Amino acid sequence: MNTRIIENEEQRRERVLMAAWKLMSQKGIKAVTMDDITGELAMSKRTVYELLHDKAAIVRGLLMELNLPEKMKAQPRKGDSLDYLFEMMLKGWSAYRKISPLFFRDLENYYPEVAQEFALHVQLRHRKVFEELLAKGIKEGVFRSDLDVSIVAVILVESTAWMMHYQVFSESTILPDALLGQLYALLIYGVVAPAQVARVTQWFTREIK
């Protein structure tokens, strides 16, 4: 098997997905055509179809192969579990501010099966991560000792889906910063130990503007 050919094909596939994401994250999925994607890449439509056979495959690839939530995820570093949660939230803050709600609208309306597949993927992949983080934080004394780790982990994971409800929160094509700020406040103030509240307030004042 020629490893070089496989690597090149994977690189081309990722390049198609990155170009599609650049366009779809700003204009929505429906508004972006295959011609738009090939024009962005200076690649033939035939080549794009060989790599990803239709638009649904591109949308699935954006969510499952580029694995966008993984790009938001904080990398382990020195500090306690609250520091780690802060960093995860900053990653999410940065990512969501760059995505038009039109993307979520079109995903929900035109690709519901892909949306459901993605939601299950996120839940299975990240629920355990949050359970471990919460349990560790309780031992460190930075999270409330009375938390039901399994339930709160589900709430934290599912909070990602709340951003998709563009029609509930905003009529614009830009997700308002106030929405993200309020969501984070509800989540983080709800899990921290009383002694850590001032620390959270300082973080919000410094980072979430």
Q: Is pLDDT at 134 greater than 90 in this prediction?
A: yes
Q: Is the dihedral of CA 129, 175, 165, 22 positive or negative?
A: negative
Write 40-46 long-range contacts (CB < 8 A, 24+): 41/15, 41/16, 43/12, 43/15, 43/16
Q: What is the pLDDT of residue 3?
A: 47
DSSP tag of 143: B
Contacts 24+ apart (CB under 8 A), 7-13: 9/51, 12/43, 12/47, 12/51, 13/51, 13/52, 13/61, 13/65
Residue percentage of the chain with pLDDT more than 70:
83
Percent of the chain past pLDDT 90, that is, above it, reads 51
Q: Is the pLDDT of residue 73 over 50?
A: no
Q: What is the mean pLDDT of residues 16-35?
A: 94
User: And the tokens for 194?
Assistant: 């009383």
Residue ranges in 42-148 assigned as alpha helix (H) = 45-51, 55-64, 68-72, 81-96, 101-110, 112-140
146-205 pLDDT, tens per residue?
A: 999 999 999 988 886 676 665 555 555 555 677 778 888 999 999 999 999 999 999 999
Structure tokens at 131: 């359970």
Which residue type does 98 have?
K
Greatest alpha-carbon span in the chain? 60
Residue 71 pLDDT more than 50?
Answer: no
- pTM of the full structure: 0.77
Q: Between residues 145 and 66, which one has the greater pLDDT?
A: 145
81-96 helix and 177-191 helix, angle to the nearest 10 degrees: 160
